[in-house]
Amino acid sequence: MSKILIVDDEKDIVDLISYNLEKEGFSTVKAYDGEAALHRVKKQNPDLIILDLMMPKMNGLDVCRTIRRNPETAGVPIIILTAKGEEVDKIIGLEVGADDYVTKPFSVKELIARVRSILRRLKEGAQYTGKEEFIHKGLKINYISCLVSVNGKPVTLSPTELKLLFFLSRHPGRVYSRNQIIDHVWGDDTFITDRAVDVHIRRLRSQIEKDMENPYYIQTVRGFGYKFADVQ
């Protein structure tokens, strides 16, 4: 049974989400401010976090940053739940490490669908039975343990960044459009946009590339999409 941490300063919203998730077979943990959220993450080890942005004590963006900076919690998927509907707010959420976002007012069914989609992607990644390890020019990826390092230094990636790296590195030299990446990484029931793909690629590069302006591993093919560097 997957455990979902719900963080929002509006108790009615937390109770509504909790009730519906538990009805669908999930277990839930609740928090009503940013500091309490970090405490619950440490003590409860949730499988996924639904996180509001506007909260007392610590806002959702800072909570997200803190979770991603900690190697012990960096792999927990995060869905940002926010009343802010502007595209820039969604992009900022993705840039600090969120895997997805839902804008208030929201459909509970849609939220649950996104929860299921993210957890399914993680499970599919864990069940991959192909090559266990990939090493290329200082980058080392273990597909089983989900450990990544560059020149011997461990790299902490979010679940979505890991899935992106896994997919592209398994097909070096092959160019994929943004829509193809969405299909392979997020799946058919995705709600992600082309712009969000670019944000996740940028975050991934910030973790593994030496020079963000001239990336080596994750390369842009202008007018089409992205590819992992050719491997000889």
DSSP string, 97-142: T-SEEEESS--HHHHHHHHHHHHHHHHHHHT--S-SEEEETTEEEE
C-alpha to C-alpha distance for 125 and 166, rounded to whole angstroms: 8
C-alpha triplet 203, 229, 223: angle, nearest 5°: 75
How distant is the alpha carbon of residue 120 from its chain centre?
A: 13
pLDDT of residue 125: 59
pLDDT of residue 35: 95
pLDDT of residue 105: 87
pLDDT of residue 190: 58
Structure tokens at 105: 């007012």
Contact 162, 145 (CB under 8 A): no
**Domains of the chain (ranges plus CATH)?**
3-125 (3.40.50.2300), 130-228 (1.10.10.10)
Structure tokens at 104: 């208030």
pLDDT of residue 86: 66
Structure tokens at 39: 């405490």
Short-list 83, 55, 49, 94, CA closest to 67 = 49
Contact 163, 120 (CB under 8 A): no
pLDDT beneath 50, residues of the chain? 129
pLDDT of residue 89: 74
Q: How many residues are recorded in the chain?
A: 232
Amino acid, single-letter form, for residue 28: T
pLDDT of residue 167: 92
* Three-state SS at 157: coil
Quote the pTM value.
0.76
pLDDT of residue 185: 85
pLDDT of residue 232: 67
Short-list 104, 88, 107, CA closest to 96 = 88
